[in-house]
Amino acid sequence: MVLVLVIVAPGQGAQSPGFLAPWLEDPTFAGRFEWLSTVAGIDLVAHGTTSDAETIRDTRVAQPLLVASGLVAALELFPHPADAYTSIGAVAGHSVGELTAAAGARVITAEQAMVLVRERGRAMADAAAATPTGMTAVLGGSRDEVLVVLERHGLTPANVNADGQVVAAGTLAQLEALAADPPAKARLTPLSVAGAFHTEHMAPAVGHMAGLARSVSTHDPRTALISNRDGRVVHDGRDVLARMVGQISSPVRWDLCMETMLDLGVTGMLEMPPAGTLTGIARRAMKGVETFALKTPDQLDDARAFCEKHGAASHLDANPTWRMVVSPVKGTFHRPAGVAEGDVLGPDAPIGEVSSLRDRLPITAAHGGRVVEWLVEDQDPVAPGQPLVRLHPEGGQG
């Protein structure tokens, strides 16, 4: 049996007052955390230790606090980042946790992540203030019926986390109508959030972040990175960043992320602090997958043993001399005729298709390059993140 470890980072709502206090007793953790706090221009040390629940619920505070916590805790878990690449099979983050995952996979730097999350939190808070909106958890009931009822009330399924766990978002009037006419056998729980995140109400924040993203340099992930948008493995750094920006106003499909984890053969999921939310969902939705919620530093030795138990080297080639094109989903690869080893492909040139149970997905070489080696044949079954072709950058490409 091949063991596969996935590291996940939680999203807004996972934080609780004082959750960082035991971590900040360690001088190394404290120093690194203070540095990211300085980059963000926010006193995250106070917010992680003494600020009350209402203060850290503020989107402007919660989002930078979560990302910084995950990034610094990752350095405690893997003091030498290169060690992580020999054990982590995939990474993913829920909502703002995608920034944590992207920095962990070296798509962006920790400092870039902190600037982006600061601006993300501010922009989303400003967008939420424009119209009275909110979110309500819909627990239980038939997923199809839940989605039909949400559509009837003009609401967006902003988070589809798993069967029986959908978050509805929209105007307060729409949510009141839902409360008066709920789906059968479902329980409604209003969430204490500033607005309708991951809906069209966040469009102004997307525009702001898209402008900033144009000046951010990226690298292709060093490990398989699973996108909230559709559960696909993304291996182009520019695409990772674009997806994170667009995802501000698009639903979080954590259910599809977990489907991809199962397709990858994940055997162990470790959640970064403040942990518990995503491992809780996984225990219900990913039967047979062992979970570890890293909450306090006294768990670090056990967490490292968990990573050693489930970890295996990534199959992605981290050598910057080469570029890999990987499959975003599980399916069957269809290799095109006429693309041979030695051919030079332009940026975004098609290199085949992967047919899955859901659709038939075109695959392109985002950066282009010379075809050095085909790693799969026509009609081969492929897994998410599996390398399809190795390219060598040509001239000014890449």
Distance CA 266, CA 286 (A): 9
pLDDT at 366: 86
- 106 and 237 inside one domain: yes
| Residue 195 belongs to a domain | no
**Beta partners for 176?**
none
178 and 39 part of one domain: no
- Among the listed residues 29, 70, 65, 27, the one whose alpha carbon sits nearest the alpha carbon of residue 47: 65
Are both 77 and 211 inside the same structural domain? yes
User: 283 with 336, same domain?
Assistant: no
Do 80 and 119 lie in a common domain? yes
d(CA 73, CA 76): 5
Amino acid 313: pLDDT: 64
The owner of tokens 């703002």 is: 96
Residues 12, 111, single domain; the answer is yes
- Edge-first strand listing for the sheet containing 186-190: 156-162, 165-171, 133-140, 186-190
Domain for residue 318, yes or no?
A: no
Domain boundary among 170, 190, 210: 190
How many separate domains does the chain show?
3
Active site residues: 95, 198
2-32 in b/e form (b: 16+ CB < 10 A) is ebbbbbbbbbbbbbebebbeebbeeeebbeb
pTM for the predicted model, two decimal places: 0.90
Clarify whether residues 32 and 177 are in a common domain: no
Which residue is it, tokens 């350095």? 75
Give the model's pLDDT for residue 397: 43
* Angle formed by the axes of helices 27-40 and 59-77, nearest 10°: 140
Last residue of a domain, which of 160, 190, 220? 190
Phi, psi for residue 361 in degrees, rounded to 5: -110, 120
pLDDT of residue 10: 97
Indicate if 14 and 75 belong to the same structural domain: yes
Cα four-point dihedral sign 290, 293, 296, 297: positive
CATH number at residue 367: 2.40.50.100
pLDDT of the residue at 323: 82
CB atoms within 10 A of CB 180: 8
Cα(392)–Cα(372) distance, integer angstroms: 6
CATH number of the domain residue 206 falls in: 3.40.366.10
* Shared domain check, 251 and 109: yes
Helix, strand, coil abundance in the chain, percent, nearest 5: 40, 20, 40
Same domain, 248 and 259: yes
Do 47 and 149 fall into the same domain? no
Q: What is the pLDDT of residue 315?
A: 61
Q: Which residue's structure tokens are 């996935």?
A: 6
Tokens found for residue 354: 């992967």
Are 184 and 291 within one domain?
no
Amino acid 232: pLDDT: 96
> Domain range holding 134?
130-190
User: Considering 169, 190, 211, which residue would you say is the last residue of a domain?
Assistant: 190
CATH at 158: 3.30.70.250
Q: pLDDT truncated to tens, each residue of the chain (398 aa)? A: 577 999 999 999 999 999 999 999 999 999 999 999 999 999 999 999 999 999 999 999 999 999 999 999 999 999 876 677 778 999 999 999 999 999 999 999 999 999 999 999 999 999 999 999 999 999 999 889 999 999 999 999 999 999 899 999 999 999 999 999 999 999 999 998 889 999 999 999 999 999 999 999 999 998 999 999 999 999 999 999 999 999 999 999 999 999 999 999 999 999 999 999 999 999 999 999 999 999 999 999 999 999 999 987 666 654 545 788 999 999 999 998 889 999 999 999 999 999 988 889 999 998 899 999 999 999 999 999 999 999 988 754 44
